[in-house]
Structure 1
Amino acid sequence: MKKTNAMRILDKNKITYITNEYEYDESDLSAVTMAKKTNVDINKLFKTLVLFGDKTGYLVACIPGEMELDLKKMAKVSQNKKVEMVHMKDLLKITGYMRGGCSPLGMKKKFPTYIGNSCLNFETIVISGGKRGIQIEIDPNKLIQVLNIHVDNISIYL
């Protein structure tokens, strides 16, 4: 497996992680499908979302795969009046990642990053490895540490 930017950052910081490769279908890149294909608990599979805040600019949210981002909570914790999801067509230009392979690690620029507090319920969580078909399993505390992530209640059940 070729190293991704996300893996290089973890290696540079001497953080232990496990990678997992899986077959993906471009027509269904949902977290629920990925969790089923990889046999990962959907609650410990965290998807990466990119947003734009009216005061802070771009920001990143990581939430459990079965949950939905609460935009009002996200705006409040990020000190914005309003946040909105970036358009999928702009994701690559902003982050350097494609939909389905967007990792909170290794984006073109370092954006303020937030993660759902349920991540602390697990010894490890699973995030995108920075490329479609690659996942990284990591201690959430190590991820929080390396990215200086803000931990808060930012999601709701679908």
Structure 2
Amino acid sequence: MSKHDKAQDKTNAMRMFDAAGLPHEVLFYDAEAAVSGAEVAAALGQDPDQVFKTLVTVGKSGEHYVFMVPVEGELNLKKAASAAGEKSIAMIKSRELLPLTGYIHGGCSPLGMKKVFPTFIDETAILFDTIMYSGGRRGCQICSSLSDLQKLVDVQTADITA
């Protein structure tokens, strides 16, 4: 379990793990020095295939979707649309992220968004005992099992990486 001295320092994602009593680790890094996902993985000494970035999209229907792909990979929009049952998918504009999710670019967690959106993670996540993803702010990552993440938000695995 992660230990936090100050409740006000916790993000929504951390609070969700704590409330559920699920094992996880919270890792911090210098957000100024590690900007890209690959730099975050390197700063934390992690395999970049095991570290996932959280991307928010909008489908042709107007519905929003969350996709998690390895930090060195790219979301394949055609595969993403197929996974979501949409004709097409597009990335949302950066300025739309905060009002939609409550998170800023570089600190968007799949947990604790203002609204729960259908969420998909690249199928390679099943290859690891633990995966890492944003803890809800820049400079913060959560490490947990995929199954524990799935206890907090309905995350489906799919082939979505380019």
TM class by smaller structure: over 0.9
- TM score, norm. by length of structure 1: 0.94
Give the equivalent residue in structure 2 for 1:20: 27
Give the equivalent residue in structure 1 for 2:119: 113
- TM score, norm. by length of structure 2: 0.91
Contact 1:18–1:136, Cα closer than 8 Å, also in 2: yes
C-alpha separation in 2, matches of 1:94 and 1:61: 15
Secondary structure of 1:130's counterpart equals: coil
C-alpha separation in 2, matches of 1:102 and 1:124: 19
**C-alpha displacement of 1:11:** 1.4
C-alpha separation in 1, matches of 2:23 and 2:68: 20
Q: Decide which of 83, 89, 97 is 2:89's aligned counterpart.
A: 83
1:11 paired to 2:18: yes
Give the equivalent residue in structure 2 for 1:70: 76
Secondary structure of 1:48's counterpart equals: strand
Structure with the higher strand share, 1 or 2: 1
**C-alpha displacement of 1:56:** 5.5
* Cα deviation 1:17-57 (Å, max 9, x = unaligned): 0011110128x621011111111110000000000011261
Q: Decide which of 73, 95, 101 is 1:95's aligned counterpart.
A: 101
C-alpha separation in 1, matches of 2:71 and 2:152: 22
Give the equivalent residue in structure 2 for 1:146: 152
C-alpha separation in 2, matches of 1:41 and 1:153: 19
C-alpha separation in 1, matches of 2:127 and 2:67: 18
Which residue identity does 1:114 align to in structure 2? Answer: F
**C-alpha displacement of 1:145:** 2.8
Secondary structure of 2:143's counterpart equals: strand
C-alpha separation in 2, matches of 1:144 and 1:153: 17
Alignment identity in percent? 38
Contact 1:55–1:79, Cα closer than 8 Å, also in 2: no
* Cα deviation 1:78-97 (Å, max 9, x = unaligned): 01001000011111111100
Shift >6 Å, 4+ stretches:
none
Q: Decide which of 130, 140, 157 is 1:134's aligned counterpart.
A: 140
Q: Decide which of 38, 42, 66 is 2:48's aligned counterpart.
A: 42
C-alpha separation in 1, matches of 2:36 and 2:87: 29
TM-aligned CA distance change 1:87 to 1:136, over 3 Å: same
